[in-house]
């Protein structure tokens, strides 16, 4: 024990030696740590990675910015190649007002707010005072926007503002779709919406051709990667990696812009004046099946989405809606009876009524026409006559007729969500009322397809809205005339056309209202009760579907026109007269296009010249040279849009509305027709309320005032 105590005492008496040993220990420990650090540093320098992370790549990722190269969505064009839906960007303007935002002493914020407000007021539908209010917010903020007035700006407006070189003024852009004609076969052309699930495809088609050919129209984004500094500026000599974007393809439609615009004007006029639930119109090339014009009301403007408010229908009435067509079906039942050899044109029948099972069926006028031959059943639109006709055909021939004409089957038109329709022949009463178009559900495309067999000597062709599609890789698919059946012979078709002529030309025909002097037209009118979802039919004459199927020239039909008017609730004007306000001018124009069957002198129409991108002076001079009237909207000096579109036919002295690149202002519309004001509404996308009849005599917004979000009321008055 004593020995151990002595050793501790010996150690305590040599503190210097202990410190020396501890110092040596620390030296070697530090040396080992330094050596380890040097080795680790050397390893990192040579290998270039830490914890499986490559340092160069990691550094590059910290300072690299990957910018998407936006692919252009392909265009939809009319039969002449004129764009009716095309890629565009809209822009939102914003102002940086934080005075700390500078670079190298340069002010990057709005330094002169008064000047900025004065300049922006020339391009935005806002007053200087309102812009100043935005630039002087109550709370401190880095940047401000200008409300709805500062959104959805065009590229031309952005460039003009940028040319003013206003410090602190910037723009954000977003993919958009330009529909230059506004309301223009909207349900057929379709609509795009922002795609929230796929950033590489910012827009996706949700309706019409936009949806049907979305894969061909949608492009694929590219990208560009480069190193930037903390402020987002590209570093000097930075390497740039680029993958080009692949733009979308092109869809060439069958639509004729001139006819489509004219049809839209006619439909809009009816919609404004009468209180119908819906009205539709289609023009088809009888030989090829091409849809030249197609419209419906209610409708919407794809540029502004006006008309697609909550609760509005997104359905294309022409292909997605099924309905009971009424007496137009008599055309095809007559054709089936003639083809089957059961039609007896010279045999007389009592048209006062016919009993089927326990049901007595009367004619549409409730009393009939007395004893008449079956040859008058179609012109008079006798329901009783057609009950007899389908009974004489027999169930097998009736079923064959419906099948051969394509009813209960999709036509295959290249539009989404096409309905099938259907019928049931198991009941004697149902078979009887099908003779005059009740208890059978069809689509408008099925009616048009079946009508081609009558027009083409028995050859039935498929309806088409597209002639050619080019995909993003350049592959071309052509949609040519397609024969889908031969339900009747040429002799049968000729006989049916003669009966349809009598509908218009005979004094007892139901279509005498639609007669055009000097024109050879074959037609069939239709009136159908509308089915009640709860069973049976809706009561009253206002709950009916009125229609007209017309072919011209009847000797060799080139055009088929089909019009429908549903639930003419106002009943201030007979439905046939309402439809005639569409049919008469439309068919007159069609006949003018057909060589040798001119209903309107060709000298009265001229081709509208292209004015877009021209100076205001040059555009006005070009229109005056064509004897057209130029009306200017806006304060700019360059034309950005026009209606009617370039290349379309217009009557001499017709008004061409020109939209300039300046602030959108209200023109003086005194003396304008309703169709001219509707052009103004389509072109500007603003809300207009039309009152009265005749020509414009007053307007609620003074000429030269900015067109805002409010409704402009234009009053019309007849002149003696």
Residue numbers annotated as active site: 327
Q: What is the DSSP letter of 307?
A: T
Two tokens, residue 1 = 């024990």
Give the integer Cα–Cα distance in Å for 515 and 509: 10
Q: What angle do CA 47, 48, 54 make, to 5 degrees?
A: 125
Pairing of strands 544-552, 559-568: antiparallel
Structure tokens belonging to residue 697 = 């005599």
Cis? peptide before 644, omega within 30° of 0: yes
Using DSSP, state whether 592 is helix, strand or coil: helix
Left, alpha or beta for 616 (phi > 0: left; psi -120 to 50: alpha)? Answer: alpha
| Whole-angstrom distance, CA of residue 148 vs CA of residue 423 | 51
> E strands within 228-290?
241-243, 250-253, 276-285
Contacts of 30 (CB under 8 A, 6+ apart): none
Q: What is the C-alpha to C-alpha distance for residues 565 and 542, in angstroms, rounded to an integer?
A: 11
528 CB-near residues (< 8 Å, 6+ apart): 323, 324, 325, 326, 327, 437, 438, 544, 545, 547
424 backbone dihedrals φ, ψ, rounded to 5°: -140, 120
DSSP assigned state of 22: H
Instruction: Specify whether the CB–CB gap between 652 and 678 falls below 8 A.
Output: no
| DSSP secondary structure string for all residues of 607-649 | EPPP-TTSBHHHHHHHHHHTT-EEEEESS-SBEEEEESPTT-E
**Crossing angle, helix 575-593 and helix 257-273, to 10 degrees?**
160
Say what the alpha-carbon torsion angle 31, 33, 36, 37 is, to the nearest 10 degrees: -110
Pseudo-torsion of CA 335, 337, 341, 342, nearest 10°?
A: -160
Cβ pair 283, 258 in contact under 8 A: no
Per-residue CA distances from 394 to 328, 342, 431, 495 (Å): 20, 9, 10, 21
d(CA 607, CA 611): 12
194-216: burial string, b at 16+ Cβ within 10 Å, e else:
ebeeeeebbbbbebbbbbbbbeb
């Amino acid at each position: 024990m004593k020995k151990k105590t002595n050793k501790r005492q010996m150690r305590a008496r040599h503190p210097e030696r202990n410190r020396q040993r501890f110092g040596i220990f620390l030296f070697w420990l530090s040396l080992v740590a330094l050596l380890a650090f040097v080795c680790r540093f050397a390893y990192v320098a040579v290998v270039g990675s830490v914890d499986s992370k490559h340092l160069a790549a990691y550094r590059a990722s910290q300072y690299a910015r990957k910018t998407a190269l936006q692919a252009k969505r392909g265009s939809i064009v009319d039969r002449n190649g004129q764009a009716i839906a095309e890629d565009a960007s809209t822009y939102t303007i914003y102002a940086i007002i934080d005075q700390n935002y500078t670079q190298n002493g340069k002010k990057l914020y709005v330094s002169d707010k008064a000047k900025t407000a004065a300049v922006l007021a020339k391009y935005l539908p806002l007053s200087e005072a309102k812009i100043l209010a935005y630039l002087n917010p109550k709370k401190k903020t880095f940047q401000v926007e200008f409300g709805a007035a500062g959104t959805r700006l065009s590229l031309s407006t952005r460039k003009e503002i940028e040319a003013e070189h206003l410090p602190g003024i910037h723009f954000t852009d977003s993919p958009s779709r330009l529909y230059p004609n506004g309301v223009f076969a909207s349900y057929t052309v379709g609509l795009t919406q922002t795609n929230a699930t796929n950033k590489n495809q910012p827009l996706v088609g949700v309706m019409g051709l936009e949806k049907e050919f979305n894969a061909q129209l949608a492009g694929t984004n590219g990208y560009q990667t480069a190193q930037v500094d903390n402020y987002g500026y590209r570093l000097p000599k930075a390497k740039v990696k680029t993958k080009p974007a692949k733009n979308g393809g092109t869809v060439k439609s069958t639509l004729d812009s001139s006819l489509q615009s004219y049809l839209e004007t006619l439909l809009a006029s009816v919609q404004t004046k009468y209180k119908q639930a819906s009205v539709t119109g289609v023009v088809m090339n009888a030989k090829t099946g091409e849809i030249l014009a197609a419209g419906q009301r209610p409708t919407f403007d794809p540029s502004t989405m006006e008309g697609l408010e909550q609760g509005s229908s997104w359905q294309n009435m022409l292909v997605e809606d099924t309905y009971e067509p009424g007496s137009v079906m008599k055309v095809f039942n007559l054709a089936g009876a003639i083809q089957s050899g059961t039609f007896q044109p010279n045999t007389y029948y009592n048209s006062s009524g016919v009993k089927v099972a326990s049901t007595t069926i009367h004619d549409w006028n409730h009393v009939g026409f007395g004893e008449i031959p079956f040859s008058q059943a179609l012109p008079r639109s006798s329901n009783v006559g057609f009950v007899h006709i389908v009974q004489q055909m027999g169930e097998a021939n009736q079923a064959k007729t419906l099948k051969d004409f394509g009813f209960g089957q999709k036509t295959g038109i290249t539009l989404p969500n096409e309905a099938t329709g259907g019928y049931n022949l198991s009941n004697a009463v149902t078979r009887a009322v099908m003779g005059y178009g009740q208890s059978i559900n069809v689509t408008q495309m099925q009616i048009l397809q079946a009508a081609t067999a009558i027009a083409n000597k028995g050859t039935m062709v498929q309806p088409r809205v597209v002639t050619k599609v080019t995909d993003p890789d350049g592959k071309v698919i052509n949609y040519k005339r397609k024969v889908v059946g031969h339900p009747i012979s040429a002799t049968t078709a000729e006989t049916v056309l003669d009966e349809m002529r009598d509908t218009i030309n005979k004094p007892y025909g139901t279509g005498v209202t639609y007669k055009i002097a000097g024109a050879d037209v074959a037609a069939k009118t239709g009136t159908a009760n509308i089915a009640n979802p709860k069973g049976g039919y809706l009561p009253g004459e206002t709950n009916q579907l009125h229609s007209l199927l017309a072919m011209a020239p009847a000797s060799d039909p080139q055009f088929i026109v089909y019009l429908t008017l549903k639930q003419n609730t106002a009943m201030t004007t007979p439905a046939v007269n309402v439809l005639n306000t569409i049919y008469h001018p439309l068919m007159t124009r069609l006949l003018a296009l057909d060589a040798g069957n001119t209903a309107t002198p060709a000298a009265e129409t001229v081709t509208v010249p292209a004015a877009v991108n021209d100076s205001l002076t040059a555009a006005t001079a070009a229109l005056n040279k064509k004897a057209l009237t130029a009306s200017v909207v806006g304060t700019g000096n360059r034309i950005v849009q026009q209606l009617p579109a370039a290349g379309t036919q217009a009557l001499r002295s017709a008004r061409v509305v020109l939209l300039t690149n300046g602030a959108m202002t209200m023109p003086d519309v005194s003396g304008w027709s309703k169709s001219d004001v509707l052009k103004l509404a389509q072109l500007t996308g603003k809300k207009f309320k039309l009152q009265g009849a005749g020509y414009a005599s007053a307007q609620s917004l003074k000429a030269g005032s900015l067109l805002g979000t409010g409704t402009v009321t234009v009053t019309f008055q007849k002149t003696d």
